[in-house]
């Protein structure tokens, strides 16, 4: 299977749709209607919209040298980590004798993970801003 951007181009998308079982066997009138759709202004608008949508979903992950799915996986793991950390912090707040080092150790670990992902120039700017 090709890349998503290749699939969205009008010609390849048209071929993909026409290759679906049953679609290629449409009557000549239906095939003519499909051809008019692919040549229409609305089809070009749909194609432009798909390109813009794909751009929105891939720009930021590309900036972090990740694919969309890699970025999604990383953020999902961090979300779970933060959710667990929230429960630990609340429990520690209510029962101060529990999780005495767990929260701070996890915060240090998250900081290390995030720090390793930030480009050096930006990391230096952040560190100087917060005087770390």
What's the average model confidence in pLDDT over 46-64? 87
Mean pLDDT of all residues in the chain? 79
pLDDT of residue 17: 62
**Per-residue model confidence as pLDDT tens digits over 71-89:** 999 999 999 999 999 999 9
* C-alpha 11: how far from chain center: 26
Question: In this predicted structure, what is the pLDDT of residue 20?
Answer: 61
pLDDT tens readout for residues 85-120: 999 999 999 999 999 999 889 989 998 898 888 878
């Amino acid at each position: 299977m090709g890349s998503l951007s290749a699939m969205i181009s009008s010609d390849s998308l048209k071929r993909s749709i026409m290759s679906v079982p049953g679609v290629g066997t449409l009557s000549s009138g239906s095939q003519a209607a499909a051809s008019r759709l692919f040549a229409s202004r609305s089809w070009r608008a749909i194609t432009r919209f798909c390109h813009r949508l794909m751009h929105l979903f891939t720009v930021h992950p590309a900036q972090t040298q990740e694919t969309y799915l890699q970025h999604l996986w990383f953020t999902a793991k961090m979300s779970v980590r933060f959710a667990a950390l929230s429960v630990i912090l609340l429990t520690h707040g209510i029962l101060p004798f529990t999780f005495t080092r767990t929260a701070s150790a996890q915060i240090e670990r998250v900081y290390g993970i995030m720090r390793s992902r930030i480009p050096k120039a930006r990391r230096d700017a952040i560190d100087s801003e917060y005087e770390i």
